[in-house]
Amino acid sequence: MNFVDKQCPYCEKKTNTKDINNSFYKSSNAYLEILKKKYTSNNSISFDDFVEKNLKLVKCDECKIIFFKKWFDTETAKIIYNSRPHRVGWGSFNLFYDQSARLKNYIKRKINIFNCINSKIDKIDKYAEINCPFSGLMLLFNFAKKNYNFKLNILENLIKERSFFNDLFLKISNRIRILFLSCLLFHEKIKIKISKKNKYFEFLNQEKKFEIPLDIRLIKIENNNLSWNYNCNNMGQNCRKIFTYFENFKSVTFNEVEDESRKNNFKFDLSYLENTIDHVSDIKKTLLKLSALSQNIAIITHGIKAGPQHLYFLNEEFISNYSKLNGFRLSILTHEITSKDNNEFDNQFYLLSKLN
Ligand SMILES: [Zn+2]
């Protein structure tokens, strides 16, 4: 585990900075657990102290972004993001897959956010998110489709996946896996037959006071080393592969939508970035592309408390500056959504609307 000097990730150069206290990281962080295991116990100071001593949190004088001026080197960052799948993302996926008791609260929270944004925008027909398919509203939109069973769809698609193995043992174990999935599918079908209707349909009908956008896209950002990407695998599949099972939801690249935008005057009514934009290596370029393609951008940030697996943190000063310089009107929705005042430590909710 090594630490290196970093320049401002937005200004992309060495800028003057002000130090920010980062001693509140003390509480153990699941994303750094893997580094802790590798940290040898014969060191004279504890892992938490070692990390705190080596990280240096600052605010850029120019763009006001908060970032680590001293952070993990590339190899260590890779270990953080490649060692296991994205906990929060797959955790959300599992809520919908298992339809566990916590799902209702999760859905309520997401609907609350979506409706708050929706009330401030004319229409949300064309909708986009970036990178992580399970952080924003994609799961909710997919789950809330009429006459649709989330788990059934996932199982049917998993069974359809073809894998090829030269090795006989792997061939057999894959057959067993398919057989096991088929049993789960059969069990799920019986369950649906018996219960006749999904217990969540009634709940969703009461709660759901929103329309699912007509055009839903997930923009993949390649060459990104602040996120899980190809290593975000569970149930034998990558998270983005699972996203392709969501019927009519499209997985696209920036190049593809930029072409479409030029040809057909295409723009997203809403680009929704919930805890995803601060997991992008190239923040300036990505924001610029999204700004050109979107009428509105919702940004939900990680607060500083979310931990040092994030190289940088967006905050009110940064977003406010960015909005002014790029022709957006800024609404700060944090209090309306969370009943907390907007602050750098916790999640913040911003809506940027293009001034015409
Ligand atoms: Zn800067």
Q: What is the pTM of this model?
A: 0.91
Is the model's pLDDT at 120 over the cut of 80? yes
Kindly give the distance from the C-alpha atom of residue 255 to the centroid of ligand 1, in angstroms, as a whole number.
Answer: 26
In sequence order, the 6+-apart residues with CB closer than 8 A to the CB of 75 are 2
Kindly give the distance from the C-alpha atom of residue 175 to the centroid of ligand 1, in angstroms, as a whole number.
Answer: 53
Kindly give the distance from the C-alpha atom of residue 343 to the centroid of ligand 1, in angstroms, as a whole number.
Answer: 19
- In the chain, the percentage of residues whose pLDDT exceeds 70 is 96
Q: CA nearest 297: which of 318, 274, 265, 281? A: 274
Longest alpha-carbon distance in the chain: 66
Q: How many CA atoms lie within 13 A of 174 on its CB side?
A: 15
Average pLDDT, the chain: 89
Angstrom distance (rounded) from CA 347 to CA 191 = 39
What tokens were used for 245?
């099972």
Pick the range with the lowest mean pLDDT from 1-10, 229-238, 241-250, 298-307. 229-238
pLDDT tens digits, residue range 125-176? Answer: 999 999 999 999 999 999 988 777 899 999 999 999 888 888 999 999 989 9
Kindly give the distance from the C-alpha atom of residue 220 to the centroid of ligand 1, in angstroms, as a whole number.
Answer: 25
Angstrom distance (rounded) from CA 293 to CA 15 = 29
Kindly give the distance from the C-alpha atom of residue 157 to the centroid of ligand 1, in angstroms, as a whole number.
Answer: 44
- Quote the Cα angle for 16-17-23, to 5°: 160
Is the model's pLDDT at 32 over the cut of 60? yes
Kindly give the distance from the C-alpha atom of residue 134 to the centroid of ligand 1, in angstroms, as a whole number.
Answer: 29
What tokens were used for 59?
């605010």
214 pLDDT tier (thresholds 50, 70, 90): very high
Domains of the chain: residue spans and CATH: 3-82 (no CATH), 110-145+209-301 (3.40.50), 153-195 (no CATH)
Pairing of strands 233-234, 237-238: antiparallel
CB 160 within 8 A of CB 238: no
The confidence score (pLDDT) of residue 196 equals 65
Torsion of Cα atoms, 161 then 167 then 172 then 178, to 10°: -10
Is the model's pLDDT at 42 over the cut of 80? no
340 pLDDT tier (thresholds 50, 70, 90): very high
